[in-house]
């Protein structure tokens, strides 16, 4: 008798919780809140190739920006640059941060802080001369923007003729973000 009552209670208990699980499974759980962060992140950057008589230049500069609102965006970037001009070669790498402002959709203003490291080599009569470089640049720029592509110019306010990295303070740019 004891066994039958125990078995009956167990069966009722199992059926009760099985039924409860079926009912709970049919109800929609609270919808998960999706992060809005990744919807506002855009990827892009720049690529550059230049070839000529006894010279080569390759630049790869990926970056990402967070589009805070239609007017403001900011984010980090990486830089790699290889140059070979005659007896001179340079390999540079670094990091950057960019702040973009769009007062109207077609105009983009920018501020970029860039830190580059690398090695420059020069071959002369006495042999190879190697120079380790470390350069900080701060660019202020403006450009015309249409559908994620901006064409403009930027100015390095920290430019120094003796830094050995940039030939001029002014630089044209093409910036693309998807």
List, for residues 109-139, the tens digit of each pLDDT value: 999 999 999 999 998 877 888 999 999 999 9
For 139-167, what is the mean pLDDT?
Answer: 91
For 129-150, what is the mean pLDDT?
Answer: 94
Task: List Cβ neighbours of 42 (8 Å cut-off, separation of 6 or more).
Answer: 64, 65, 67, 73, 148, 177, 178
53, 85 Cβ separation under 8 angstroms: no
> Where are the chain's structural domains?
38-177
List, for residues 68-107, the tens digit of each pLDDT value: 999 999 999 999 999 998 888 999 999 999 999 999 999 9
Distance CA 110, CA 171 (A): 13
Per DSSP, the three-state class of 12 is: helix
Fold type of domain 38-177: Porin (2.40.160)
Helix (H) or strand (E) holding 73: strand 72-85
In this prediction, residue 165 carries a pLDDT of: 82
For 154-167, what is the mean pLDDT?
Answer: 87
Q: What is the pTM of this model?
A: 0.75
pLDDT at 24 over 80: no
Distance CA 164, CA 31 (A): 56
List, for residues 27-45, the tens digit of each pLDDT value: 555 666 678 899 999 999 8
pLDDT at 3 over 50: no
In this prediction, residue 23 carries a pLDDT of: 47
Least confident of 9-23, 72-86, 158-172: 9-23
């Amino acid at each position: 008798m004891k066994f039958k009552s125990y078995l009956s209670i167990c069966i009722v208990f199992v059926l009760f919780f099985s039924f409860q699980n079926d009912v709970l499974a049919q109800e929609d759980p609270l919808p998960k809140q999706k992060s809005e962060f990744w919807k506002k992140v855009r990827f892009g950057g720049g690529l550059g190739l230049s070839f000529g008589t006894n010279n080569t230049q390759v630049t790869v500069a990926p970056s990402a920006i967070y589009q805070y609102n239609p007017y403001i965006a900011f984010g980090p970037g990486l830089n790699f640059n290889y140059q070979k001009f005659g007896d001179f070669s340079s390999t540079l790498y670094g990091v950057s941060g960019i702040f973009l402002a769009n007062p109207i959709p077609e105009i983009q203003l920018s501020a970029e802080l860039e830190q580059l490291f690398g090695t420059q080599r020069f071959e002369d009569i006495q042999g190879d001369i190697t120079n380790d470089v470390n350069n900080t640049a701060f660019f202020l720029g403006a450009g015309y923007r249409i559908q994620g592509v901006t064409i403009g110019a930027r100015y390095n306010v920290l430019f120094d003729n003796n830094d050995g990295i940039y030939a001029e303070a002014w630089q044209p740019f093409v910036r693309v973000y998807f």
